[in-house]
Amino acid sequence: MNRNSRTSVIRTTIFTLLLLPLLAWADPAAFQVKRIGQGAPIILIPGLASAGEVWEPTARHLALHYECHILTLAGFAGVAPIKTPLLATVENELADYIVRNHLQRPVLVGHSLGGLLALRLAADHREMVGRVVIVDALPALGATQNPDANAEQLAQAAEQVRAAMLASDAASYAASQRQAIASMVTRAEDVDRIAAWGQASDRTTVVNAMADALRTDLRQDVARIQAPTLVLGTWIEYQAFAPRAAIEATFQGQYQKLPGVKIVLADNARHFIMVDDPSWLQARIDDFLKE
């Protein structure tokens, strides 16, 4: 080995030794991705504490004609958490992912928290997004009971929820989580499956993401979205509290600033529409993508 070669090896070794500590402390990616199918790109984003698996029946259907990118977010369903705020980090990394993988104006399909993320990305990166499908998500979840709530009130309410969830002991937290899921999906086996994802999720990530969603208000920001948008909601889960017309009015009111939005409510599915009534959901998405 000549002198120049030895010098190059020494420099490479030193650089590697300096870099290793940085790699060891680096946060994992804000999401994991599973790809299936070929064709125009569709990105499917699950909701709070859910695995990308929740989208698999829908993705298998769409993969007949599209390339599906199925996400599982950091801290959810066994994926390692990150130290930075989840929603903002996912939005930034997803925008980078679209550019890095040369995805041409992908369709965004988001459920619940994933729907909120889809709205944020479509508003902040208008040129990147082709179409948007929102599954049972609102631009301002924290304002459903009080539409006139301001940013300070939303933040205070979100912090109260966050503090209460963190103060709960492990058994109470798991029980309340399962009770909530039992109202969001119909079949007992689906409750078990979704609850298991929640138990495999990082509690701090879940609580902070929930609080972040509750303080977020995109009712004005959705006016910036240029992509055609389909909102698929549900009402039977909430019929004990409000009639169908009132639920529909809430959707219409929160999305009133979004140009050309199409809102359709499912009559036979709870919050996890893709699980309760996959055929209905797939038919609505098929029709929307053919327009």
Per-residue b or e along 138-174, where b marks 16 or more CB atoms closer than 10 Å to that residue's CB: bbbbbbeeeeebeeeebbebbeebbeebeebeeeebe
Q: Please indicate, yes or no, if residue 4 is contained in any of the structural domains.
A: no
Instruction: Report d(CA 28, CA 26) in Å as an integer.
Output: 6
Instruction: Give the number of other CB atoms < 10 A from CB of residue 215.
Output: 21
φ/ψ region of 42 (left if φ > 0, alpha if ψ in -120 to 50, else beta) reads beta
Task: Please give the pLDDT value at position 27.
Answer: 42
Task: Please give the pLDDT value at position 20.
Answer: 38
CB neighbours of 161 closer than 8 A, spacing ≥ 6?
Answer: 210, 211, 214
DSSP 167: H
The stretches of 85-185 forming alpha helices (DSSP H) are 86-100, 113-124, 151-167, 170-182
The total domain count for the chain is 1
Q: What is the span of the domain harbouring residue 282?
A: 25-290
Q: Please indicate, yes or no, if residue 104 is contained in any of the structural domains.
A: yes
CA-based nearest residue to 194, from 203, 185, 202 = 185
Task: Please give the pLDDT value at position 12.
Answer: 43
User: Mean of the per-residue pLDDT values for the chain?
Assistant: 92
Task: Please give the pLDDT value at position 240.
Answer: 82
Total residue count of the chain as it appears in this document: 291
Q: What stretches in the chain show pLDDT beneath 50?
A: 5, 7-10, 12-28
Task: Please give the pLDDT value at position 55.
Answer: 98
Q: Please indicate, yes or no, if residue 218 is contained in any of the structural domains.
A: yes
Q: Please indicate, yes or no, if residue 20 is contained in any of the structural domains.
A: no
φ/ψ region of 225 (left if φ > 0, alpha if ψ in -120 to 50, else beta) reads beta
Model confidence over 54-97: pLDDT tens digits?
Answer: 999 999 999 999 999 999 999 999 999 999 999 999 999 999 99
Q: What is the pTM of this model?
A: 0.89
DSSP assignment of 186-228 equals SSHHHHHHHHHHHHTS-HHHHHHHHHHHHH---TTGGGG--S-
- Secondary structure element (H or E) that encloses residue 247, with its range: helix 244-254
CA-based nearest residue to 108, from 86, 82, 126 = 126
- The CATH number of residue 125's host domain is 3.40.50.1820
Instruction: Work out the burial of residue 53: count CB atoms within 10 Å of its CB; fewer than 13 is exposed, 13-18 middle, 19 or more buried.
Output: middle
Instruction: Report d(CA 91, CA 135) in Å as an integer.
Output: 18
Model confidence over 159-180: pLDDT tens digits?
Answer: 999 999 999 999 999 999 999 9
Q: Please indicate, yes or no, if residue 90 is contained in any of the structural domains.
A: yes
Task: Please give the pLDDT value at position 241.
Answer: 87
Instruction: Report d(CA 222, CA 15) in Å as an integer.
Output: 46
Q: Please indicate, yes or no, if residue 10 is contained in any of the structural domains.
A: no
Q: Please indicate, yes or no, if residue 18 is contained in any of the structural domains.
A: no
Task: Please give the pLDDT value at position 2.
Answer: 55
CB 184 within 8 A of CB 273: no
**Distance in Å from the first CA to the final CA of the chain:** 66
Task: Please give the pLDDT value at position 157.
Answer: 96
| Residue written as token pair 């299936």 | 36
DSSP three-state, residue 131: strand
DSSP assignment of 5-33 equals HHHHHHHHHHHHHHHHHHHHHPPPPSEEE
* Tokens (6 digits) for 55: 């989208």
Q: Please indicate, yes or no, if residue 8 is contained in any of the structural domains.
A: no
